[in-house]
């Protein structure tokens, strides 16, 4: 009997150790917070957007008069981006996949004037995209790409329920660092400010202290239910932890215009 009892104790200890290990490494771990669950589910819907813009300076009348003088200067100033009157530059931004049809929302300033638009998925797949609809006044654009596989669709948050102080998650590609995640709270609603980024209107915005950096433009701002609260748009220069997002209701209005 003593041997049986001892064996029983060992079995219980083994089970306890296995359970503890599972709790630490498995989905029941306390480390798997609501933020982690949202990121796991919806980060694949946030894409990197790369654009190319080619400007042929030779098409302008002034080039015939000043081209020779400008050529050396432009080569020195732009380096590899410039060659014999042709300037080619690239920019980075973010976007959010809205559905299985390959519609992606981003900022208008990310894709405007681009001659080529590329969408980079989380697994590194690069897709060509084209502009479908632009709202310059809201700094929003809908582009479309042929998705090679389905991506979990984001749902739109009810902005009327948005609470000051609630946790929000910003996902984007700041400085080309794909699928970077920052967390903060809703700092304010219906904000407006003057900025060169928002050439047209900077009003009705959601303010957040989640870190938003260059390249985050067009990325997702999500709540803890995984709903799209807004599209990240800008930060105030010389400020800390003051970022803004375009509310999701403006995206739904733009989508309605496509129907």
Q: Model confidence over 19-51: pLDDT tens digits?
A: 444 444 555 688 999 999 999 999 999 999 999
Bridge partners for 244 per DSSP: 207, 234
Quick one: what percent of the chain has pLDDT higher than 70?
75
Residue 212: give the domain boundaries.
155-256
Of the two residues 44 and 238, the one the predictor is more confident about is: 44
Give the pLDDT mean for 6-13: 47
Say whether both 126 and 179 belong to one domain: no
Catalytic residues: 109, 139, 217
Last residue of some domain: 145, 176, 194? 145
- The answer to whether residue 16 scores a pLDDT higher than 70 is no
Of the two residues 118 and 10, the one the predictor is more confident about is: 118
pLDDT given at position 214? 82
Q: Residue 198: pLDDT band by 50, 70, 90 thresholds? A: low
Could you tell me if residue 37 is inside a domain? Answer: no
Contact by Cβ (8 Å): 231, 107: yes
- The total domain count for the chain is 2
CA atoms of 27 and 23, how far apart (whole Å): 7
Quick one: what percent of the chain has pLDDT higher than 90?
47
Tell me the pTM: 0.77
Could you tell me if residue 240 is inside a domain? Answer: yes
The separation between the first and the last C-alpha atoms of the chain, rounded to the nearest angstrom, is: 77
């Amino acid at each position: 009997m003593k041997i049986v009892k001892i064996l029983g104790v060992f079995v219980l200890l083994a089970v306890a150790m296995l359970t503890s290990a599972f709790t630490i490494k498995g989905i029941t771990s306390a480390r798997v917070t609501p933020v982690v669950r949202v990121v796991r589910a919806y980060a694949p819907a946030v894409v990197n957007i790369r654009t190319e813009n080619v400007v042929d300076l030779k098409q302008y009348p002034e080039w015939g008069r000043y081209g020779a003088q400008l050529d050396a200067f432009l080569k020195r100033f732009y380096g590899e981006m410039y060659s014999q009157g042709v300037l080619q530059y690239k920019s980075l931004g973010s976007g959010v996949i809205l559905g299985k049809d390959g519609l992606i929302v981003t900022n208008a300033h990310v894709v405007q004037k681009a001659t080529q638009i590329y969408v980079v998925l989380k697994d590194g797949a690069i897709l060509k995209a084209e502009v479908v609809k632009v709202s310059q006044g809201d700094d929003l654009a809908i582009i479309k790409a042929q998705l090679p596989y389905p991506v979990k669709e984001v749902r739109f948050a009810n902005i009327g329920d948005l609470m000051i102080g609630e946790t929000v998650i910003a996902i984007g590609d700041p400085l080309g660092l794909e699928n970077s995640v920052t967390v903060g709270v809703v700092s304010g609603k219906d904000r407006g400010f003057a900025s060169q980024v928002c050439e047209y209107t900077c009003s009705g915005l959601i303010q957040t202290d989640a870190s938003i950096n260059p390249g985050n433009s067009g990325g997702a701002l999500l709540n803890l239910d995984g709903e799209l609260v807004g599209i990240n748009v800008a930060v105030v220069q010389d400020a800390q932890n003051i970022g803004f997002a375009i509310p999701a209701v403006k995206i739904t209005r733009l989508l309605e215009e496509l129907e």
